Amino acid sequence: MVELELGLIAIGAGIALAGSAYAAAIAEKEIGTAAVGAMAEKEELFGKGLILTVIPETIVIFGLVVAIMILGLADKIPVTG
């Protein structure tokens, strides 16, 4: 049953990406709110605010790398019948 194994691999990759994306979203939400608040007080903080807001984005990239590595497992499944 190659199909089932492939499906599980796909689901695993999906979970890796979805989980990390969700985590990044939560983190960015908090930082973004604070950054906008700070910007309302002082507009020059836009650059700094932007940087702080996008820092958690790296989490998604990690998720993506893990997902690609999981997808790489698909090559290792022996083709049976």
Partner 1 sequence: MIRTKKMVKTRLSGPKHSLKKLINELHAMKLIHLIDYRGEEFETGNSFSEAEEISEKLIKLRAMISRFKLNLNPRIIKDLKVCEQRFSQIFSSYHSLTAEISSLNERKKELEAKKGSIEPITSLQLSPEYFSGYESLTVFKGTVKKQIPEQKISETTKDFELFSSNFEGKNVIALFVPTEQKEKIQSLISEYGFSELHFEEETNLKELDSELFSIEKQLSSLNSKLDSLKEKEGQFLIDYEFNLEKETEKLEAPLKFAVTENAFIIEGWIPKKEAKEMQEKLNKLTEDKIFIETFEEKGAPTALENPSMVKPFEFFMNLYSLPKYAEIDPTFLVFITFPLFFGFMLGDVGYGIVTLIAFLVLRKKIKGEAKLLINSLIVASLATILFGFIFGEAFGFEFVEHPILNRVHDLDLMLLISIVVGLIHITLGFLVGFYNVMIQHDFKEAVFEKGSWLVIEAGGLLVISEMLLSMTSFGNILGGILILAGIVMLFKGEGVQGLVELPSLLSNTLSYARLFAVGLASVQLALIINAFATDFFQQGGIMIGAAVLILLLGHFVNILLGLLGPFLHSLRLHYVEFFGKFYKGGGKRFIPFGTEKNNA
* Closer by beta carbon to partner 1, 34 or else 69: 69
Provide, rounded to whole angstroms, the least separation between the CB of residue 1 and partner 1.
26
Provide, rounded to whole angstroms, the least separation between the CB of residue 44 and partner 1.
8
In our burial notation (b when 16+ CB lie closer than 10 A, e otherwise), range 3-25 reads eeeeeebeeebeebbeebeeebe
* Closer by beta carbon to partner 1, 25 or else 80: 25
* Closer by beta carbon to partner 1, 9 or else 64: 64
Provide, rounded to whole angstroms, the least separation between the CB of residue 51 and partner 1.
5
**Tokens linked to 61:** 């990239």
Angle of CA points 56, 47, 18, to nearest 5°:
20
Where does this chain bind partner 1 (CB under 8 A)? 46-48, 50-51, 54-55, 57-58, 61-62, 64-65, 68, 72
Q: Can you tell me the distance from the alpha carbon of 14 to that of 18, in angstroms, rounded to the nearest whole number?
A: 6
